[in-house]
Copies of this chain bind each other. A is one copy, B any other.
């Protein structure tokens, strides 16, 4: 009968991939550098094993689907609101997610969030072997335990309860001096902490930023240039946990926060160079050239001239080719480096990356 066949055909034609048992990944387009891999990492997130809303394996599914390379599930140690229904079991999220992570090639790092009053606040310890020894009353004892397991410790979201409670305090000084604290989370999902950014630069702590997600992640559908999971790009040699750790400890990071990359100058300069390419110009007149500028990254890159270069402002939309008409600065210039500031490559709270565009006149 005709209608029945039609129904069957409709079903077949519109059968989504997941109905075939497949998964689709939306890649995050920040290019690899010549000497390594640009790993997209979210090392701060929660599940129902503390106060999150999802089961641990979902965090791996999300990570793969959203183009991540590495995650750490960092459930709160002390904050266990679902205890009545889920008895405390600090190592279970990692254990449960491990098999799926292997299958999906997601680097899974064992972690936990030390959750104290603010101040001193919250801290993530990752690369742990066993979370349980950190479940102890004494504040410094926790970090000593982490240190014994050779953990990497981050001070989380310093300003989330306001600048007053987010000050660098005695505890931070002590942890820092004992080398028990290695990084500061200068961005946490929708917040950026300019002051903490300054401390990290001053004290040479590693710059990181993560989602701290508690709900499901909707990024594979909702990701835009302005709104996306806050991540850290870790510039590792390879896609292995060891490589990632080496790069993290060496501070080779850039935080992808809204339409910005925040990091140190060498990393941002290398990323800018890998993201932007100027093609040979289409047409030239005596006064200007018209050239395609390709931006392969997820950022809408914004440039402003720091001197006489024209145009005064250039905007390179994410993952697009733009046609820009550059003015020739002098008479017989053949190839000129035009000076710009990349206003969304942030090297300090009040500093932006300076770049030179090599335009072939």
- A-side residues, CB < 8 A to B, are 1, 3-4, 6-7, 9-11, 13-17, 19-27, 48-49, 52-55, 57-58, 64, 82, 85-87, 89, 92, 102-105, 190, 192, 194, 215-216, 218, 221-222, 226-227, 258, 282-283, 290, 292, 311, 313-315, 317, 320-325, 349-350, 352
Residue of B nearest to A59 (CB): B53
- Taking a contact as CB atoms under 8 Å apart, the answer to whether A104 and B323 are in contact is yes
Q: A4-B194, A25-B292, A103-B283 are in contact. List 5 more A-B contacts (CB 8 A).
A: A7-B194, A9-B13, A24-B317, A26-B320, A54-B54
Which residue on B lies nearest to A259, using beta carbons? B10
What separation, in Å, do the CA atoms of A287 and B334 have in the docked complex?
62
State how many angstroms separate the Cβ of A222 from the closest Cβ of chain B: 5
**Which chain B residue has the least Cβ–Cβ distance from A18?**
B190
A1-B350, A283-B103, A292-B25 known; A20 vs B313 contact (CB < 8 Å): yes
Known A9-B9, A89-B85; judge A64-B3 contact (CB<8 A).
no
B58 touches A216 (CB 8 A): yes
User: A58 contacts which of B23, B53, B313 (Cβ < 8 Å)?
Assistant: B53
Q: Which 6 pairs show the lowest CB-CB distances between chains A and B?
A: A216-B216, A25-B321, A105-B282, A221-B221, A103-B283, A53-B55
Question: CA of A1 to CA of B194 in the docked complex: distance in angstroms?
Answer: 12
Within the oligomer, what is the number of copies of this chain? 4
Which chain B residues lie closer than 8 Å to A53 at the CB level?
54-55, 57-58
In the bound assembly, the distance between CA atoms of A311 and B15 in angstroms comes to 15
User: Which partner residue on chain B sits nearest A192 by CB separation?
Assistant: B7
- Provide the bound-state CA to CA distance between A48 and B93, in Å: 14
Residues of B within 8 A of A6 (CB): 9
Give Cα A222 to B282, complex, Å: 27
**Residue in B closest to A103 when the chains form the complex, CB atoms:** B283
Q: CB distance B64 to A323 under 8 Å? A: yes
Shortest A63–chain B CB gap in Å is: 12
| Chain B residues within 8 Å of A64, by CB | 323
Q: When the two chains form their complex, are residues A322 and B48 in contact, meaning their CB atoms are under 8 A apart? A: no
A290 nearest in chain B by CB position: B103
A14–B22 Cα gap in the complex (Å)?
24
A17 → chain B closest CB, angstroms? 5
Known contacts A311-B21, A315-B20: A292-B221 contact under CB 8 Å: no
Q: Is the CB of B105 within 8 A of A292?
A: yes
Q: Which residues of B contact A321 (CB under 8 A)?
A: 24-25, 27
Question: Once the chains bind, are A192 and B11 in contact (CB under 8 Å)?
Answer: yes
Contact of A19 among B26, B105, B190 (CB under 8 A): B190
Contacting residues, chain B, for A349 (C-beta < 8 A)? 3-4
A-B contact pairs, 12 of them (CB 8 A): A3-B350, A4-B349, A6-B9, A11-B192, A14-B227, A16-B227, A24-B320, A48-B55, A53-B58, A102-B283, A103-B283, A103-B290
Residues of B within 8 A of A282 (CB): 102-105
Assess A350 versus B283: contact at CB under 8 Å? Given A55-B53, A221-B222.
no
User: A207: shortest Cβ distance to chain B, in Å?
Assistant: 16
Shortest CB distance A23–B (Å) = 5
State the CA gap A216–B313 with chains docked (Å).
Answer: 26
Measured CB to CB, the closest approach of chain B to A79, in angstroms, equals 15
Considering the chains assembled together, what is the distance between the CA atoms of A317 and B52 in angstroms? 27
Question: How close is A260's CB to chain B, nearest CB, in angstroms?
Answer: 9
Complex Cα gap A16–B315 (Å): 8
